[in-house]
Amino acid sequence: MISVNPYDGQTIREYPDFTAEQTSAAVDSAEKAFFEWRGATLTERKVLNLKLRDLLEKKKDELARLMTLEMGKPIKQSCAELEKCGLALSYYSEKAELFLAPQMVETEAQKSYVRFDPLGLVLAVMPWNFPFWQVFRFSAPSVIAGNAALLKHASNVTGCALAIETLYREAGFPENIFRTLLIPGSNVLPLMDDQRIKAATLTGSEAAGVAIAEKAGRNLKKVVLELGGSDPFIVLGDADIAKAAAVAAKARTINNGQSCIAAKRFIVEQSVYDSFRNAFVDEMNKLKVGDPLSEETDVGPLAKREFLEELEQQVERSVKEGAIVLAGGKKPESDGWFYPPTVLGNVKPGNTAFEEEIFGPVAPLIMARDNDHAMKLANSSRFGLGGSIWTSDTQVAEKMAAELEVGTVFINGMVKSDPRLPFGGVKASGFGRELSYFGMREFVNVKTVVIE
């Protein structure tokens, strides 16, 4: 496994893969840690959770730099990501007792109740784009619920993966309650056959999700999938255009445009199309592209060279199919894997920029005749992760939200995850939920107890 700095293409460090024996030993040690951990009281778990939160804050600068070096995220966004992980740890420390408390149910029996017990070892297959947040939004609720965590992280953020394991150990958790597995992606599916692993969660591509789901089905294991997205950003005729355009630029380029819930299709009502287009192009042109370690940088490099090449090809195909470049559209001369904030006009259904997930700072503009046409365009995607609606009439927006085929809708705001709210998608964006009490209960045994 090789960690490479996307800013200059230089190798940071190489890590040897685990052997089959090392992998099995790691799984075995995590299982033994689980048998100890499940007997800990919630109070004991909460204390360690808060120690972990405090460690994250103490080491924030060091960890943020590591994150930025490994995957190119602007340093100010790396710091914000770590702060969000701390919020999740605080939230579950506060709410675990409420979420996991037995629920009494009135029946004819002397006593009936439902309890929530840990499942055991949960395998997390996580992506590189949010190296800490993706992991903690899974591990914070799962571990405090009594499970053990096995992490197969993306190979280009191996440093981050090992740092998270160290944080759990330094916070005082049982030695192997959180283990990072340094294995190639090809070894994940065979690992799903291991009966010591009770469940899995994956954030990644549609193809990876299908493969994991098939394996989970064959092994009758619980699985949660958060896959790709092509989130609609719907601007209606009565929207605040200046505000919508400013947020649109941020929503498209956050994390250098490499986010599943980034706005990816900008569907604008015909009556305000021109004014939004002009304002949006201005906002995209204002963004500073450069060294991600600089506090002034808004957009850094893409995480891998192949991602840059794929993005270039998608833009080229889109233009050949009729799209017009309104801003950006040409890779700068640089050793790093940069692509400028780009706006494509005249995008229609069937165009590459409409149909495919664009994982980079490229924004397709699509004109809608009216509200109904905007909804039809928004739902004309195999993805269904998130979406936002911009209008001064919130009643209209709430009606549209009910019809939007996504897992999360923001009205007059940018789509983002929050520990207090369930997060996940529908259609090809996956199934199951993370965060809130819905997320905590994905990886517990909902057990009925009846006393006659």
Residues designated catalytic: 226, 260
- Percent of the chain surpassing pLDDT 70: 100
How does pLDDT run across 374-388, given as a tens digit for each residue? 999 999 999 999 999
Looking at residue 232, what is its pLDDT?
98
Looking at residue 168, what is its pLDDT?
98
The reported pTM is 0.96
Reported as a pLDDT band with limits 50, 70 and 90, residue 333 is: confident
The predicted model gives 14-43 an average pLDDT of: 97
Looking at residue 70, what is its pLDDT?
98
The predicted model gives 377-400 an average pLDDT of: 97
Helix ranges (DSSP H) in 394-435: 394-403
The amino acid occupying position 231 is D
3-state helix, strand, coil in the chain (%, to 5): 45, 20, 35
- Radius of gyration of the chain measured on its C-alpha atoms: 23
Distance, CA of 162 to CA of 150 (rounded, Å):
12
Looking at residue 352, what is its pLDDT?
97
The predicted model gives 360-389 an average pLDDT of: 97
- Structural domains in the chain, sorted by start: 2-227+426-451 (3.40.605.10), 231-411 (3.40.309.10)
Mean pLDDT for all residues in the chain: 97
Looking at residue 334, what is its pLDDT?
83
Phi-psi group of 444: left, alpha or beta (phi > 0 → left; psi -120 to 50 → alpha; rest → beta):
beta
Backbone angles phi, psi at 287, to 5 degrees: -65, 135
Q: What residues contact 28, with CB distance under 8 A and at least 6 apart? A: 196
Q: Is the pLDDT of residue 1 over 90?
A: no
Reported as a pLDDT band with limits 50, 70 and 90, residue 335 is: confident
How does pLDDT run across 219-265, given as a tens digit for each residue? 999 999 999 999 999 999 999 999 999 999 999 999 999 999 999 99
Q: Is the pLDDT of residue 317 over 90?
A: yes
Q: What residues contact 338, with CB distance under 8 A and at least 6 apart? A: 289, 300, 301, 302, 308, 331, 332
The predicted model gives 12-39 an average pLDDT of: 97
